[in-house]
Amino acid sequence: MAATSRLVKYERRQAVRSALLYLVLTALILFGITRFGTQVVTSITGFLTSGKENTESVSDLVAPPQIDTVPEITNQKTITVQGSAPSAQTVRLTLNGEKQDIVSNSQARWSISFALHEGDNTVRAQVVDNQGNTSQETTASIFLDTVPPTVSSLIPDDGITKTGKKEQNLEISGQTEQDASVRVNDRIAVVNGQGQFKTQLQLTEGENVFTIIVTDRAGNTTQEIRHVTFLP
């Protein structure tokens, strides 16, 4: 899953902007050396560099917030995100571009509920101190999946009849998603790396009812029922 795709795109844009800025700065320095000499240009460059270093050091002095562990994938459309930060400090949270500021409590804890959208969701958190200095970002990714797992190629067909001792053992098999779990009545079916599953059961005389429940990693379920009649 491309849980960090939004962050990657952002970092690429920032890298392009930084590259353009350095190209412009280099051109100005070369022009300055030609026009005014190296001493003046060195002074200006030193001033710009020191300003950048001071900005970064101030940011590094503000401890970033901590985000408690969040589920990697869920089927819940609303999630509560919690974490820690120095008490009485502003915690600036951003989820999918929507910003909200909250204040950490006296136990240095904070909590907020967010509505997720289908697919990738990225939470970003920063601390803003009383002087307006901002910490580095802390991020967490959550994938919302509300789509039930697919089930295909399910064997046997519903409503069939098996006759004789040789057909008393029944194999139930099918195809679903990778990493899904499958239960047939009270039995766990084995699911391989391609999402194929199967299990063996013994039929009893008369009608046998099998409930196949497939559950994906997010907790979504799909249910299928098969009726098989056995005649000894």
Write out pLDDT tens, residues 46-83: 544 444 444 433 467 899 999 999 999 999 999 999 99
| pLDDT digit string, tens, across residues 89-124 | 999 999 988 999 999 999 999 999 999 999 999 999
DSSP track, 56-73: HHHHHHSPPPEE----SE
* 14, 18, 25, 26 from 21: Cα distances, Å: 11, 5, 6, 9
Asked if pLDDT for residue 202 goes beyond 60, the answer is yes
pLDDT given at position 17? 60
Taking the C-alpha atoms of residue 160 and residue 108, their distance in angstroms, rounded to an integer, is 63
| pLDDT digit string, tens, across residues 115-154 | 999 999 999 999 999 888 999 999 999 999 999 999 999 9
Triad 176, 181, 182: Cα angle to 5°: 75
Triad 153, 159, 163: Cα angle to 5°: 105
**What 3-state class would DSSP assign to 162?**
strand
pLDDT given at position 226? 97
pLDDT given at position 96? 87
Taking the C-alpha atoms of residue 123 and residue 182, their distance in angstroms, rounded to an integer, is 32
Residue 33 near residue 41 (C-beta atoms within 8 A): yes
Q: Which residues make beta-bridge pairs with 81?
A: 112
pLDDT given at position 32? 61
- Average of pLDDT values for 160-178? 96
E strands, the chain, in order: 66-67, 73-74, 78-84, 90-95, 98-103, 109-115, 119-128, 138-144, 152-155, 160-163, 169-175, 181-184, 187-191, 196-202, 206-215, 221-231
**What 3-state class would DSSP assign to 155?**
strand
Taking the C-alpha atoms of residue 112 and residue 17, their distance in angstroms, rounded to an integer, is 33
Which H or E run contains 223? strand 221-231
Asked if pLDDT for residue 156 goes beyond 90, the answer is yes
**What 3-state class would DSSP assign to 6?**
helix
pLDDT given at position 56? 35
pLDDT cut 90: percent of the chain above it? 70
Q: Which residues make beta-bridge pairs with 222?
A: 214
5-36 helix and 38-61 helix, angle to the nearest 10 degrees? 150
Taking the C-alpha atoms of residue 70 and residue 100, their distance in angstroms, rounded to an integer, is 19
- Average of pLDDT values for 202-219? 97
pTM value is 0.69
Hunting for tokens 């503000």 — which residue is that? 62
